[in-house]
Amino acid sequence: VQGVRDGGGDPRPRRVLVFPLPFQGHIDPMMHLAGALHARAGLAVTVLHTRFNALDPARHPEFRFVEVPDGVPAGVAATGRIIDVILAMNAAMEASPEAVRGALASAMIAEDEDEEAPHAACLVIDSNLLAVQRAAEKLGLPTMVLRTGSAACLRCFLAYPMLHDKGYLPFQESQLYMPVPELPPLRVRDLFQTKISSHEMVREVIARITETVRNCSGLIINTFEALEPDELQKLRGELDLPLLLAAGPLHKLSSKTTGSSLLDQDYSCIEWLDTQPPGSVLYVSFGSLAAMDSGEFVEVAWGLANSGHPFLWVVRPNLVQDTDIAQLPDGFEDAVKGRGMVIQWAPQQEVLAHRAVGGFWTHCGWNSTLESVGEGVPMICRPNAVDQMMNARYVEEVWGVGFELEGELERGEVEGAVRKLMGGGREGAEMTERAEVLRRKVAECLDGSGSSRTAIDMLVDYMLSL
């Protein structure tokens, strides 16, 4: 195996292995990174993937795929809970490291024993895959880490022990709005949280992430310099890494959509958007994991209907958690005829780039936030869990391109929020203007000498030097 990467001066093209965490919000940025490395530098890519949320190799004929046994018990897989799956997967991989090493070794060695086949330079893993990093270490394969969240989020993770020592965590209801001066502009309620996994599980996942990051040969963060300049500068001081690059928004760096959607994207909505006036439509989607109960679902439906504004709403199959099939309320379809469309899963990047879309009601997953920023679309934020609270805080407080819809979901509040963003008033118009300014910064970081473009070039040079 050593010989595979021992290629100083070897003219053969190099291969990079990538291993995303098998959740939509983690798969997408990793596949975009892989696409950018392949398109820009001609690097060959092998994608390691699990049976849980397996990727479809047929949709990526340019990449090679190797399955790694994940060992996630069926009961945990069925919950689909990200924290539980991360812990179960790492535990299973650590219990049988030889299985992971075997998969890695077969991914490193040229599949067809062809002399010309590229050999492996390094492995890029999701920061949640400490067990994989440990297995790679044993093989002498350097690991780089992709952080799919913001730089601010990683700073928060690194500060987790301090947040406990100082008593900010675990959360106390009475302190939710207390500022955390060590991590401005965050308040206690903006720190990483989940309503369904225990605090101890979260703490363990975060401890593993920070260990993976501190051990890696280089870190890539899906953000860009102009978006989080202070956070990146502080991270560079806090982490003593050979390389820390802000190379995002990664979805803007690969030339085509990745085909890595776990659900079928309904393109009929693009034709519908074509019929709507510019900037008129509110796009509503809560990502791949966030859920609501049927009472909240009905309030969202009537809030959107009563707002009078056109909307495109993604109702994923498991969005409503207390029923098998989400039922739109009686009378809703008639009330929104011609100006409302409901679909199961959207081609989100194309939707946000469409000229008809003027606002995004989002749960503020980091990918959704970056995708909105990349198209200059202002946001209504309804964060649900994990890093979404802090993303929403930055959207509202730092970048001024949206606002949070807080408290109970109630139709009157929803209607008011939609009108505030889309109704042509001063506040909404100012958010739209600031979103356009930010969009131009995204375009700048992606052009020839832009910071993210340069970061990818530096990354390729570095990978080839490993």
Catalytically active residues, by annotation = 26, 126
Which residues lie below 8 Å from residue 441, measured CB to CB, with a gap of 6+?
A: 224, 226, 227
Whose tokens are 């050593």? That residue is: 2
* H or E, element range at 347: none
Q: What is the spatial distance between Cα 71 and Cα 80, in angstroms, rounded to a whole number?
A: 14
Which one among 365, 378, 402, 428 touches ligand UDX, defined by CB under 6 A?
A: 365
**Of residues 4 and 284, the one with the C-beta less far from ligand UDX:** 284
C-beta separation of 231 from 158 below 8 A: no
Residue number, nearest CB to ligand UDX: 365
Which range in 42-50, 70-78, 94-102, 285-293 contacts ligand UDX by CB under 6 A?
285-293
C-beta separation of 456 from 247 below 8 A: yes
Which one among 35, 287, 310, 428 touches ligand UDX, defined by CB under 6 A?
A: 287
Q: What is the spatial distance between Cα 346 and Cα 316, in angstroms, rounded to a whole number?
A: 9
Which one among 20, 22, 25, 142 touches ligand UDX, defined by CB under 6 A?
A: 25
Tokens of 293: 């109960």
Determine whether 252 is exposed, middle or buried from the number of CB atoms within 10 Å of its CB (0-12, 13-18, 19+). Answer: buried
Distance of CA 360 to CAs 149, 269, 286, 342, Å?
19, 15, 10, 15
**Of residues 128 and 307, the one with the C-beta less far from ligand UDX:** 128
Which residues lie below 8 Å from residue 114, measured CB to CB, with a gap of 6+?
A: none
Whose tokens are 């799919």? That residue is: 148
**Of residues 231 and 371, the one with the C-beta less far from ligand UDX:** 371
Residue 222 lies near ligand UDX (rule: CB under 6 A): no
Which range in 85-93, 98-106, 187-195, 340-348 contacts ligand UDX by CB under 6 A?
340-348
**Of residues 40 and 81, the one with the C-beta less far from ligand UDX:** 81
Tell me, residue by residue from 385 to 414, as one string, x for binding to ligand UDX by CB under 6 A and - for no binding. Answer: -xx---------------------------
Which one among 50, 127, 261, 276 touches ligand UDX, defined by CB under 6 A?
A: 261
Which one among 90, 348, 432, 451 touches ligand UDX, defined by CB under 6 A?
A: 348
Which residues lie below 8 Å from residue 265, measured CB to CB, with a gap of 6+?
A: 345, 346, 347, 348
Q: How many residues at the interface with ligand UDX, by CB under 6 A? A: 26
Which one among 22, 35, 118, 149 touches ligand UDX, defined by CB under 6 A?
A: 149
Which one among 192, 361, 366, 403 touches ligand UDX, defined by CB under 6 A?
A: 366
* Residues engaged in binding ligand UDX (CB under 6 A): 23-25, 28, 82, 148-149, 261, 265, 285, 287-290, 314, 345-346, 348-349, 365-368, 371, 386-387
